[in-house]
Structure 1
Amino acid sequence: MRTKNLIVFFALTLLTTKVFSQTDVAKAFSFAQNQTTLLLKEVDTVKSDAANSALVSPRSLSVEGKLVMVPSKDWCSGFFPGELWFLYEYTNDKKWMGLAQQFTTNIEVEKTNGITHDMGFKVYNSVGNGYRLTKDAHYKEVIIEAAKTLSTRFNPVVGSIKSWDNRKQWKFPVIIDNMLNLELLFEATHLTGDSSFYKIAVAHANTAMKNHFRADYSSYHVIDYDPETGKVLHKQTHQGYADESAWARGQAWGLYGYTMCYRETHNKAYLKQAENIAKFIFSNPNLPADLVPYWDYNDPAIPNAPRDASAAAVAASALYELSTYSKNAKEYRSTADKIVKTLSEKYQAKAGGSKGFLLIHSTGHKPAGTEIDVPIIYADYYYLEALLRKQHLYKGQPVINRN
């Protein structure tokens, strides 16, 4: 029944979705440039206070509507530099390249920060995009150093990279978000020829595929392991409604992560995993018609629950790439088109508003009461990435432009 529903959904999507055109992409990037110019001014205002000298990147807006900035150690610090690289990639305007270099420099110190798993989010999204577009040898060295640092968090008994330190409730927590940090390791193997990074990434992906997912291919957020035996101690959904619920962004992380892992390994098990996660998301009875999910698919408050535009943006970017590998290419691409069209038309900030963020209505950590129904920088990052991937596909280029 679920498969039948998915086929019907994709058929309706193809019939009802107008193509998201290159003109629409151009409009979205024009809007992004104007908004980012505003955001840069807001950043300068915050940093003009000497007390904020350690803050390097914008993250969100406070309840009062003030710009929230973070230091380089914050897991979100790399997204804004990445956005600036995306603007440079689309426009080829050296102004954006200079700004991207400036904000990327602030993140490079994280290459030796071994107390966090978020090396991909921080370093790869900033320095990695910089290297992809410039082939700067300095960026190459930073990527390799960051990958070496991330590798120190791998436990071969567990077969995973540890996510969080100093959390008393867990011994060896691994979160689904960690799938996206694997791209840094794959890149390090490309750059060095050292397969140890590749082997760690594959081991982590295999362990997550074994333990993070339920029979319907929804995922838990956190799996806690015994670091000495590798035994699963507990499965939970820390940022979702309940342990057995499907936290929306977690599902999108899984879709994106296994699509990326298939690209890097050509292991068909990863392709099948990505396709099954897509099936769960897009046949879910609680997915709204506009394809922007509620923050958790099982929140009993639906339809009076907050949305998460960031989950939609991550999923759209993943679907554009997945469409290049799967027999369901037409359906995946059409669905991604519908998502970015919805985000562009209904979830964009007002021009000149939201301190320069691009998208509104994202949800960060609802159980903790933080970042609920606000702009969040990673929503903007994956939205622009999705738009670029749409552009590349239109031009018949690889979905990821490596120059």
Structure 2
Amino acid sequence: MRKLVVFFSCLMMNSMVLMAQKEEGKIGMGQLIDEQFKFAEQQYKVLAKNVPADVMPQTYNAKTDKVQTSDTKWWCSGFFPGTLLYIYEYTKDAAILKEANARLGILEKEKHYTGNHDLGFMMYCSFGNAYRLFKKPEDKATIDTAAASLTTRYRPAAKVIQSWNSGKKWGGPVIIDNMMNLELLSWVSDHGGDKKYKEIAITHANSTLKNHFRPDFSSYHVVDYDMKTGKVVKKQTAQGAADESAWSRGQSWGLYGYTMMYRFTKDKRYLSQATKIAKFILTNPHLPKDLVPYWDFDAPEIPNALRDASAAAVNASALLELAQYSDKKDRKMYVAVAEKMIRALASDTYRAKLGENGGFLLMHSVGSIPHKSEIDVPLTYADYYFLEALHRYKNWYLKS
């Protein structure tokens, strides 16, 4: 029986590759990437004009034709400057860089924030990219301070970084999203910072590996710990369809997170976990043909469920990195599938027209249906990981 499951899983994945490779009438990826960045260059100037200088863009309300904004303590505050930096890296547009620097200026103070686990999203996706491009000592100092702030949420007895503060529903919640913030800690340790930061990241990744995943390698969203003993109290969801469902973006965070942790550690357990998460996503019978997931793989309204472009963007970027660590056959498959995802997101179905969508690039993402928040709208992190995927494809796989 197990051999049959493996056979049909491989058959499904091979079919995806063939579909990705045999689509006709496609422009080359080099041209597609160039077109997307030139579009982003103009579109993000529209977005910048729609957002006051002291806040960050969050989403767009089509009914009011206004961009909704947030303060810099919001967990996604780093994505706007990070996206601007990705655009500048490709286009070298001075106005885009000026805007990025202005937004970094209002974000910098959050290096001291300890209110939740999201310092990686906030500070590494922004100042991490800035330091990568310009190597300014002050940017590295900001990243180092942010890592120190994040470690204040580490709970040694439970061997995890607590995601959110204790509340009525959960005493010690840890969410799968937290895997993404381990990049900040690992990078700082590897670049002259305190070695304990990476040790914390590894310990957290190991606890998540043990407690967050089901036998099919799908992930729970929230695991509630007793932070004094490390005992798992319950496993539930905040943004998924049900406690036992596979919330799509949560699967994406896991895929990206363990691929990234393999980069920093070369621990084969992490590579194995990333590969198995990828298999769960790519062979899932509820994954649509264009590979842009429904908001939850078990959403009760499938096939009429809303899609989540942000999950597809994260998946595309993660698979392009996973391909770097895979054998020739899997590498080819992952790149082909990521390309199909990118092409879907770049199509008229998901990518906005110039001047529309409030200035955001992608349409049709889902924040949290259970909270009736950010439903079928653009989201700032969807744009960020879409452009990251384009950069990765260009730098790693585009033939010169």
Scaled to the shorter chain, the TM-score interval is over 0.9
**How far, CA to CA, are the matches of 2:193 and 2:48 in structure 1?**
38
Task: With the length of structure 2 as denominator, give the TM-score of the two structures.
Answer: 0.94
Q: Does 1:10 align with 2:8?
A: no
Structure-1 residue corresponding to 2:249: 249
**Pick from 339, 342, 356: which aligns with 2:341?**
339
**How far, CA to CA, are the matches of 1:135 and 1:81 in structure 2?**
16
| Pair 1:34–1:93, CA change in 2 (3 A) | closer
Q: What's the offset of the Cα at 1:396?
A: 7.2
Structure-1 residue corresponding to 2:37: 29
Structure-1 residue corresponding to 2:387: 384
Structure-2 residue corresponding to 1:56: 55
**How far, CA to CA, are the matches of 1:89 and 1:116 in structure 2?**
30
Structure-2 residue corresponding to 1:105: 105
CA contact (8 A) 2:151 2:161 kept: yes
Secondary structure of the structure 2 residue equivalent to 1:106? helix
Equivalent residues in 2 for 1:160-239 (5 A)?
160-239=160-239
Equivalent residues in 2 for 1:236-385 (5 A)?
236-327=236-327, 328-345=330-347, 346-385=349-388
Secondary structure of the structure 2 residue equivalent to 1:67? strand
CA contact (8 A) 2:221 2:238 kept: yes
Q: What's the offset of the Cα at 1:361?
A: 0.6
Task: With the length of structure 1 as denominator, give the TM-score of the two structures.
Answer: 0.94
Structure-2 residue corresponding to 1:401: none
**How far, CA to CA, are the matches of 1:2 and 1:332 in structure 2?**
20
Cα-to-partner distance string for 1:287-336 (whole Å, 9 max, x where unaligned): 00000010001112101111100000000000000000012100000000
Which runs of no fewer than 5 residues in structure 1 stay unpaired?
48-52, 398-403
CA contact (8 A) 2:166 2:172 kept: no
Q: What's the offset of the Cα at 1:263?
A: 0.2
Q: What's the offset of the Cα at 1:195?
A: 1.1
Cα-to-partner distance string for 1:97-127 (whole Å, 9 max, x where unaligned): 2221111111111111111110001011111
Secondary structure of the structure 2 residue equivalent to 1:58? strand
Q: What's the offset of the Cα at 1:7?
A: 1.8
Equivalent residues in 2 for 1:89-168 (5 A)?
89-168=89-168
**How far, CA to CA, are the matches of 2:87 and 2:263 in structure 1?**
24
Q: How many residues align?
A: 388
User: Which range moves more in the overlay, 164-173 or 210-219?
Assistant: 164-173
Secondary structure of the structure 1 residue equivalent to 2:191? helix
CA contact (8 A) 2:360 2:383 kept: yes
Structure-2 residue corresponding to 1:75: 75
CA contact (8 A) 2:225 2:234 kept: yes
Which runs of no fewer than 5 residues in structure 2 stay unpaired?
none
2:214 partner amino acid = R
Secondary structure of the structure 2 residue equivalent to 1:174? strand
Cα-to-partner distance string for 1:64-103 (whole Å, 9 max, x where unaligned): 2421011000001110000011011112333322221111
1:11 partner amino acid = N
CA contact (8 A) 1:161 1:204 kept: yes
1:270 partner amino acid = Y
**How far, CA to CA, are the matches of 2:254 and 2:155 in structure 1?**
21
1:366 partner amino acid = I
**How far, CA to CA, are the matches of 2:332 and 2:346 in structure 1?**
21
Secondary structure of the structure 1 residue equivalent to 2:69? strand
1:375 partner amino acid = P
User: Which range moves more in the overlay, 95-104 or 248-257?
Assistant: 95-104
| Pair 1:127–1:66, CA change in 2 (3 A) | same
**How far, CA to CA, are the matches of 1:126 and 1:355 in structure 2?**
21
